[in-house]
Amino acid sequence: MKGFSKMAYPYIVWMVIMIILPMLMIVFYAFSKSGNDVLTFQFTFQNFVRFFEDSVFPNVLWRSLKMAVATTVICIALGYPCGYIIAKLKGNNQAIMILLITLPMWINMLVRTYAWRGLLGYVELSSEARVYVGMVYNFLPFMILEIYTALSKIDPALLVAARDLGANDFQAFLKVTLPLSLSGVVSGITLVFLPAVSSFFIPKLLGGGQYVLIGNLIEDYFITSGDWNFGSAISFIMAIIILISMYVTRKLDRTAKEDEI
């Protein structure tokens, strides 16, 4: 067993280099002034004060959260019926449908978004509507697959038992299928909301620069303006929001699994 534990060392090193060190750098820049280094570090909250003093930045954050929530709700509304229908299919038909859903994901998301940019050029839509189309298109497969996985694990005998006890199809769905599939819905929410709230190239490409989200601000301050301190402060705020979201979805997932038991 000890020999197998050593196989985790490369992953631990990778995690330290690719995750922990970048996060420490973000914290360092977020709480320091421009021009500071490790030896002349001066602790400050000025970057966060700047974010909340100017109403533009909280408004962009609020817009990002609203878009992520709306995208997640739309994906649930579209993804649950799709996942339910696929779970009801048999044999090759089910495999073909799964292939059709996952096939676009074999192509890089950036390339797919560029393709939608060309397609939406022929349609009169607002910048916001274009961004919603791109968000839902790119993240919907994750929701469908998670819901399908949860539904496919439900024992058909439970539905038979519900009908034997006098429940009709709709009542069996509400009392058996829906509660047992909530864990898939919660997992889908995690896979849709978290990338949607921090997305930057979808609004950049489809919004034409007119619909700015928090991810675009972070990109601009790191790459265009070169203000790593303020960009890190925005990233730190987003990291806190994402951690809170993960905690909430984890609690919901745990509750859903307890209900299944």
Task: Identify the bridge partners of residue 32 per DSSP, sorted by sequence position.
Answer: 43
14-23 as b/e: b if 16+ CB within 10 A: eeeeeeeeee
The C-alpha atoms of residue 141 and residue 172 are separated, in whole angstroms, by 26
User: Contact at 8 Å (CB) between 98 and 86?
Assistant: yes
Q: In this predicted structure, what is the pLDDT of residue 209?
A: 72
CB 223 within 8 A of CB 171: no
Residues 51-88 have pLDDT tens digits of 999 888 999 999 999 999 999 999 999 999 999 999 99
Residue 166 reports pLDDT greater than 60? yes
DSSP output for 25-88: HHHHHHTB-TT--STT--B--HHHHHHHHSTHHHHHHHHHHHHHHHHHHHHHHHHHHHHHHHHH
Q: Looking at per-residue confidence, does 19 or 39 come out higher?
A: 19
Q: What is the pLDDT of residue 66?
A: 94
Beta-carbon count within 10 A of 200 CB: 17
Listed residue (4, 156, 139, 158) closest to 75, CA to CA: 139
Report pLDDT digits (tens) over 192-249: 998 999 888 899 888 877 788 888 888 889 888 888 889 999 999 998 988 898 888 8
Distances in whole angstroms, Cα of residue 156 to Cα of each of 17, 19, 83, 130: 47, 43, 16, 41
pLDDT(1) > 60: no
Q: What are the phi and psi torsion angles at 32 (to 5°)?
A: -135, 165
Say if residue 260's pLDDT is above 60. no
Q: What is the CATH number of domain 56-260?
A: 1.10.3720.10
The residue-averaged pLDDT of 144-150 equals 94
- How does the average pLDDT of the chain come out, rounded? 87
Buried b (16+ CB within 10 A) or exposed e, 214-234: bbbbbebbbeeeebbbbbbbb
Domain coordinates in residue numbering, the chain: 56-260
**Does the pLDDT of residue 165 top 80, yes or no?**
yes
Residue 2 pLDDT: 58
Dump pLDDT digits (tens) for 95-133: 999 999 999 888 888 899 989 998 888 888 888 899 999
Give residues with Cβ within 8 angstroms of 229, minimum separation 6. Answer: 29, 30, 32, 33, 34, 47
Per-residue confidence (pLDDT) for residue 79, from 0 to 100:
95
Q: What is the pTM of this model?
A: 0.86
Position 166: which residue type?
A: G
Contacts of 72 (CB under 8 A, 6+ apart): 189, 192, 193, 196
Question: Which of 149-158, 179-188, 209-218 bottoms out in mean pLDDT, i.e. has the lowest?
Answer: 209-218
